[in-house]
Amino acid sequence: GEEVAQTPKHLVRGEGQKAKLYCAPIKGHSYVFWYQQVLKNEFKFLISFQNENVFDETGMPKERFSAKCLPNSPCSLEIQATKLEDSAVYFCASSQVRNQPQHFGDGTRLSIL
Amino acid sequence: DAKTTQPNSMESNEEEPVHLPCNHSTISGTDYIHWYRQLPSQGPEYVIHGLTSNVNNRMASLAIAEDRKSSTLILHRATLRDAAVYYCILSSGSSNTGKLIFGQGTTLQVKP
């Protein structure tokens, strides 16, 4: 598609439950990036992929967070045993090559109760 | 990662030009200057980027200081739809992993 598609738009989970977010990058884009926006203007890079390979995971919390980009499937970001502090908007972005402008989806708002 | 400094907020009148400043005094020779904006309830949107020379596109212009320690995003005629948070971001051309390091950004209000 011509847009980065993120699903669901809003996800509500009880503390301790699992959360799984999905991202379909723009067709033909080789790079996928995940970002977390906790407060209004505070973004944190989580992880990036080059096709199905992890490219940079320096922002990923060591525990509970995992991500995949498998061929012919949307990319996914999974959080095990969610905590209140995981409440945030999670954005996915894609680009054709690494240094080109990134195209962002509209995000998934994760609310942990 | 080199850091950027922007004013927290700015105001503009509709149909007037807007100059959004960004300081990046620790920029290295291979760092690109990117601008993204985030409209309410949306993901960030690419605006423009440059290395050394001034750049123009259909959305905006980017003026880069000769010493590259600062830059200015210019919206030539602000509209109400330009009200957003504008982020100035540096990305390293040498060791670039592509990730964007967002700062606090400038919240632009456009008054009718």
pLDDT of residue B24: 93
Task: Residue window 61-100, chain B: list those with CB within 8 Å of chain A.
Answer: 85, 91, 93, 96-100
Per-residue pLDDT, averaged over A12-25, amounts to 98
Residue % of chain B over a pLDDT of 90? 75
Digit-coded pLDDT (tens) for A70-97? 998 999 999 999 999 999 999 999 999 8
Task: Note the pLDDT tens digit of each residue in B18-70.
Answer: 999 999 998 888 888 999 999 998 999 999 999 999 999 999 999 999 999 99
Contact between B98 and A33 using a beta-carbon 8 Å cutoff = yes
Quick one: average pLDDT of A93-108?
92
A22 touches B at CB < 8 Å: no
Neighbours of B108 (CB within 10 A): 21
| B39 near A CB under 8 A | no
pLDDT score of B92 more than 80: no
- Chain B residues whose CB is inside 8 A of the A107 CB are 42-43
Cβ contact (<8 Å) for B99 and A93?
Answer: no
The values of phi and psi at residue B109, to 5°, are: -105, 135
Contact with chain B for residue A56, Cβ under 8 A: yes
Residue B96, pLDDT > 80, answer no
What integer best gives the mean pLDDT of chain A? 94
- Which pLDDT does position A1 carry in this prediction? 63
For residue A50, which of A66, A35, A71, A78 has the smallest C-alpha distance? A71
A42, A58, A102 ranked by CB distance to B46: nearest: A102
Question: Cβ contact (<8 Å) for A101 and B46?
Answer: yes
A3: buried, middle or exposed (CB in 10 Å: 19+, 13-18, 0-12)? middle
